[in-house]
Amino acid sequence: MRSHRSTAALAAFAALLVLVAACGSAAEEPQGRTVVVDAANGRITVPVAPQRIVSLAPTHTETLFAIGAGKQVVAVDDQSSYPAEAPRTALSGFKPNAEAVIGYKPDLVVVSDDQDGIVAALQKVGIPVLVEPAAKDLDGALDQITDLGTATGRQADAKALTARMRAAIDESIRAAPRPAQPLSYFHELDAQLYTVTSSTFIGKVYGAFGLHNVADAADKPGTGYPQLSQEALLQADPALILLADTQCCGQTPEVVAQRPGWRDLRAVRDGTVVALPADVPSRWGPRLPDFYRAVADAVTRAAQKVPAGR
């Protein structure tokens, strides 16, 4: 009888220990836990898995949804057009209004620039802000995805996304042909012939395919975004013309072919004027593989037009 009583007492004591342990576990993981993220504005402390995120940058909006943090986002800026389910608002990333942002009661705000002192204004009321400026290269873009994964409790998802992105990009580069003579190209930002040079993120994407940028010599101030003259473009006669102004400005291969002198350009004659996917060339986030894939397809098409022996 004593043995049965001892056993019962031990069982009751064990149950009590389990209950205490459970309570202790909950106490060790309070709602106020934080994590530190290395952003452009320093080491920022944010809540673990914040639940009311505001994004004021289209690229970062795409990243948040791509890593599975979409349900944690309560508002995005007026330029965040992708994905469709993003909670788009009238908030501006160019002229941010701190009071309007605060109205969403965010526990994390993500921006690409500290416009109009938005960082200090939000931090003054205890709202953590991550500044993740436009990436300068692919590694920088992938690092930003990692940062947002850390900030949102989605580290594993961010790691998986960056691995898929790098694999897809490497495959596009490997699959594209490499003519003996590098193909030349012109990347059009708008109909006034503003463009990019090899020093920019976009230029580095083309450089990964061994392409030659006809605008590099025109970048006298070294901004990376010169305006090419009509005469210079016609004289350069690039093998590839890539249009990044189709969505914004209605420029298509058919439209540009009607410009004075353009019908004599090699790219127009060969059908290697390419309309790039909307937004993709200017948002250096999860859809970067689409940009590399589009360039690979364009290079393949242009390489097929190169005469034998060149």
**Is a pLDDT exceeding 80 seen at residue 30?**
no
Q: Is 206 exposed, middle or buried (0-12, 13-18, 19+ CB in 10 A)?
A: buried
- Mean pLDDT (whole number) for 11-24: 39
How many angstroms separate the CA atoms of 145 and 132, rounded? 10
State the pairing for strand pair 42-47/34-39.
antiparallel
Q: How far apart are CA 176 and CA 301, in angstroms?
A: 10
Residues 6, 14: Cα–Cα separation, whole Å: 12
- Cα–Cα distances in Å, from 133 out to 58, 72, 137, 282, 285? 12, 21, 12, 13, 12
pLDDT reported for residue 32: 55
Residue 230 predicted with pLDDT over 90: yes
Judge whether residue 6 has pLDDT over 60. no
* CA distance linking residue 200 with residue 134, whole number of Å: 11
| Residue 299: predicted pLDDT | 97
* Domains delineated in the chain: 34-163 (3.40.50.1980), 178-303 (3.40.50.1980)
H runs (alpha helix) in 210-285: 230-236, 246-249, 253-256, 266-270
Which sign does the torsion angle of CA 29, 30, 36, 39 carry? Answer: positive
Q: Does 24 have pLDDT greater than 80?
A: no
How many Cβ atoms from other residues are within 10 Å of residue 83's Cβ?
Answer: 13
pLDDT value for 18: 38
Residue 231 has pLDDT above 70, yes or no: yes
Do 46 and 139 form a contact (C-beta atoms < 8 A)?
Answer: no
Lowest model confidence (mean pLDDT) among 1-10, 112-121, 131-140, 235-244: 1-10
* pLDDT at res. 222: 85
pLDDT in tens, 197-224: 999 999 999 999 999 999 999 998 889 9
Q: Is 6 helix (H, G, I), strand (E, B) or coil?
A: helix
pLDDT grade, residue 28 (50/70/90)?
A: very low
Q: What is the pLDDT of residue 161?
A: 98
Positive or negative CA dihedral for 144, 145, 146, 151?
positive
Q: What is the pLDDT of residues 91-126, one digit of tens each?
A: 999 999 999 999 999 999 999 999 999 999 999 999
- Whether residue 15 is predicted with pLDDT greater than 60 in this model: the reply is no
Q: CA nearest 151: which of 204, 109, 201?
A: 109
pLDDT in the model for residue 308: 54
In 3D space, the residue among 71, 129, 82 whose CA is nearest the CA of residue 101 turns out to be 129
Q: Is the pLDDT of residue 63 over 80?
A: yes
Tokens of 4: 């049965």
Between 12-16, 172-176, 262-266, the lowest mean confidence (pLDDT) is in: 12-16
How does pLDDT run across 174-188, given as a tens digit for each residue? 999 999 999 999 999
| Higher-pLDDT residue of 272, 25 | 272
